[in-house]
Amino acid sequence: MPPRNLKVLICGGGIAGLTLAVLLERAGIDYEVFERARQVRPLGSALGIGPNVMPMIEQLGLLDQFLTISKANDFVSNFNEDLELTSRYAYTELPERNGYANYVVPRPKLYDLLYSQIPSSKVHLGKRFVSSEQTTGSNNNSEDEQRHGVTVTFADSTTAYGDILVGADGTYSGVRQNLYEQLSQQGKLTPSDMEELPCSSICLVGQTGPLSTEKFPHLREKYCRFENVSGNAISWMVIEHLYLETNRTTILENTEWGTASTDTMIEAVRQFPIPSGSGSNGSPLTLADLIDETPRELITQVALEGKMYPSAAQGANTAIQDAIVLCNYLHNMPDASPESITKAFEGYHQEREPYARQTYETSDRLRQLFRKRPINAVIRFLVKYIPQAVWNRVFDSIYGNRPQVAFLPRVPDRGLIKAFLQKSLDL
């Protein structure tokens, strides 16, 4: 049984925030989601959802719905600018080894699926987190405010009160920033946490409207390749690798960043060849064929920070795993006291930290396949000689971590590679 009267405030209604909300809903724990966007916009590209989070989707009873909005991915193929295949690795052994395929799902459809699992009254749009304050209740009169808790203030000057605040507000988390400022004032912030996140690439993403399967015949295939997405549309992205790492402030200070910068990048990449499809006379296609099929408001430019490189397809999976493990610990709390909350977060940190670190490091290694330095060209050349067995070992190390929700009926562990130990499953 979860503790009575526990209230969780979730700032950010992205993948992490919505997944946590769905799990808290199932756990019977009170929560509210505060999202800064005024409306849910169908922005973004495809997400790779792997065997490491599929057990949760099955536990939630959402497997069938998920399969209708996604498509299994069999190969990841890397081409050079002349469309020569430089390396290729297969996901085809994942179902046997890790229990599930790797699926590609359009981000807006995954959002819709998660949203459909929680009452709309629990999600507050147009609420931009500004600050939080821990309240000890020493001089408050109301019963609620006498408890230890946290008061959050939003940009529209409204506030919310709860026992726990979860910052699910993305890479440039305002919640974390606010916490860091408080820790800094107390002299508790470590020097590495004071540094800005490095930014190593800029990405243009979009999703086309429905496409002609005459022009893009591969859309009829059973499996989708890395660059293709389910149904009759394509989620696409172009990544410009910066020669030198910089930081987001520098990019945003560049006066050209914004709509004009996106338009410039769109123009610059139009003539890039794409590997799939062909024109009416069999001529090769370029990105212009996709860009012209994509509504301009659905094309966004993103500065990619840190080392969670999107082609490793682990950011959303990691966010979902975080939500599963955190919810397991919250559900197991004996009461809503500060001591129990601290213990729950300690357990969560101990369980997640090694896996999150490992995923981060694997993602960084994959990033080396695409960087611009001369050494990366050598790496690209050598990578095609890596046997599939080695790739399988890499995938096992990622997809062996298949956390389940402790308070929902378990699903059988189907992979030949047994799921790694999960402490919060047996609390």
Ligand X SMILES: Cc1cc2nc3c(=O)[nH]c(=O)nc-3n(C[C@H](O)[C@H](O)[C@H](O)COP(=O)(O)OP(=O)(O)OC[C@H]3O[C@@H](n4cnc5c(N)ncnc54)[C@H](O)[C@@H]3O)c2cc1C
Query: Of 132, 290, 131, 273, nearest to 204 (Cα)?
Result: 290
Instruction: Locate all alpha helices (DSSP H) within 28-162, ordered by sequence.
Output: 54-59, 63-69, 94-98, 107-115
Which residue, 83 or 155, is less far from ligand X as judged by CB? 155
Question: Cα separation of 272 and 276, whole Å?
Answer: 12
Query: Of 412, 404, 408, 426, nearest to 53 (Cα)?
Result: 404
**What is the smallest separation between the CB atom of 279 and ligand X, expressed in angstroms?**
27
The tokens 């696409």 sit on which residue? 236
Question: Cα separation of 324 and 106, whole Å?
Answer: 22
**What is the smallest separation between the CB atom of 49 and ligand X, expressed in angstroms?**
7
Which residue, 181 or 339, is less far from ligand X as judged by CB? 181
CB distance 94 to 52 below 8 Å: no
Which residue, 43 or 343, is less far from ligand X as judged by CB? 43
Per residue, the 3-state secondary structure of 374-424, as one string, reads HHHHHHHHHHCCCCHHHHHHHHHHHHCCCCCCCCCCCCCCCCCCCCCCCHH
**What is the smallest separation between the CB atom of 105 and ligand X, expressed in angstroms?**
9
- Distances from the Cα of 106 to the Cαs of 44, 170, 205, 210, 216, in angstroms? 8, 19, 12, 13, 18
Which residue, 23 or 336, is less far from ligand X as judged by CB? 23
Which residue, 233 or 336, is less far from ligand X as judged by CB? 233
CB distance 198 to 254 below 8 Å: no
Which residue, 3 or 169, is less far from ligand X as judged by CB? 169
**What is the smallest separation between the CB atom of 409 and ligand X, expressed in angstroms?**
25
Q: In the complex, which residues of this chain contact ligand X (CB under 6 A)?
A: 11-17, 34-37, 45, 47-48, 128-129, 168-170, 174, 203, 205, 237, 302, 304, 308, 310, 313-317, 319
Which residue, 313 or 336, is less far from ligand X as judged by CB? 313
β-pairing, 123-125 vs 30-35, is: parallel
**What is the smallest separation between the CB atom of 132 and ligand X, expressed in angstroms?**
11
- Distances from the Cα of 162 to the Cαs of 28, 29, 135, 181, 349, in angstroms? 15, 12, 10, 21, 21
CA 168 to chain centroid, in Å, comes to 11
318: its two tokens: 């990691």
**What is the smallest separation between the CB atom of 386 and ligand X, expressed in angstroms?**
21
**What is the smallest separation between the CB atom of 152 and ligand X, expressed in angstroms?**
9
Which residue, 84 or 156, is less far from ligand X as judged by CB? 156
Which residue, 11 or 113, is less far from ligand X as judged by CB? 11
**What is the smallest separation between the CB atom of 146 and ligand X, expressed in angstroms?**
27
**What is the smallest separation between the CB atom of 143 and ligand X, expressed in angstroms?**
28
- The residue count of the chain comes to 427
